[in-house]
Amino acid sequence: MPREVRERQMLDAAVATFARHGYRAASMDGIAELAGVSKPLVYLYLNSKEDLFTACIRREAAALVRAVRHGVDPATPPDRQLWEGLGAFFTHTAEHPDGWAVLHNQARTSGEPFAREVATMRADLVAFVTELIAAAAREAHDDPELGDREVAGLAHALVGAAESLAGWADTDGSVTAKEAASTLMNFAWAGLGNLMEGERWTPR
């Protein structure tokens, strides 16, 4: 069996195990058994439990960011890009619940350096969304109503809302990816769309 196939099997087993038991409680014996290999082979390939967990986080983070980026066609209008990006995000997290649990629950809650890996992925997503909102604002106005700083704030709000809804969908199994994407799109776009037209909320 080629090395990359065997390594993939080990990472699949590790992601499933870390998702279920967390970093600390997961056992290398259990991971080796689930992968159908010997424990020394896991150490030979992945070096240590810490390196194995880091490899899981990096693989799952890269897969999620790739899914979102590939879901978006930059030639389409900004609202369509956001819709496709949200759809890709919720579909990916629904189809990879173990990967999402590793990123959202386990990696952030097992101390450094794991939390930093997730923070890097999150910063990637915020940067991507920031660029998307900024492009939409430029398209709506030559002299943009929305400053860089507010655009960055909106991107943070949107990513936080998406994470929260993915957690909701994960807890309530009846919430589909489409429903989560649609709820957030309606929440976000009508608001963003108004902002881009210069319509702001003011206290009555």
Residue 109 contacts a copy of itself per CB under 8 A: yes
Residue 165 contacts a copy of itself per CB under 8 A: yes
The DSSP code for 2 is: -
Nearer to a copy of itself, 120 or 168 (CB): 168
Nearer to a copy of itself, 97 or 191 (CB): 191
The token duo for 80 is 């369509």
Contact of 99 with 64, CB cutoff 8 Å? yes
Closest approach of a copy of itself to the CB of residue 168, in Å? 4
Rounded (10°) angle between helices 78-95 and 49-71: 140
Contact residue for a copy of itself among 24, 70, 116, 141 (CB under 8 A):
24
Nearer to a copy of itself, 7 or 145 (CB): 145
Of 21, 114, 74, which is closest to residue 122 (Cα–Cα)? 114
Contact of 115 with 76, CB cutoff 8 Å? no
Residue 173's CB: how many other CB atoms inside 10 A? 9
Nearer to a copy of itself, 30 or 191 (CB): 191
Contact of 2 with 37, CB cutoff 8 Å? no
Contact residue for a copy of itself among 7, 12, 33, 79 (CB under 8 A):
79
Contact of 177 with 94, CB cutoff 8 Å? yes
Nearer to a copy of itself, 12 or 150 (CB): 150
d(CA 135, CA 20) in angstroms, rounded, equals 40
Binding mask 87-106 for a copy of itself (x = CB under 8 A): --------------------
Chain positions contacting a copy of itself, by CB under 8 A? 22, 24, 77, 79-80, 83, 108-111, 115, 150, 152-154, 156-165, 167-168, 175, 179-180, 183-195, 199-201, 203-204
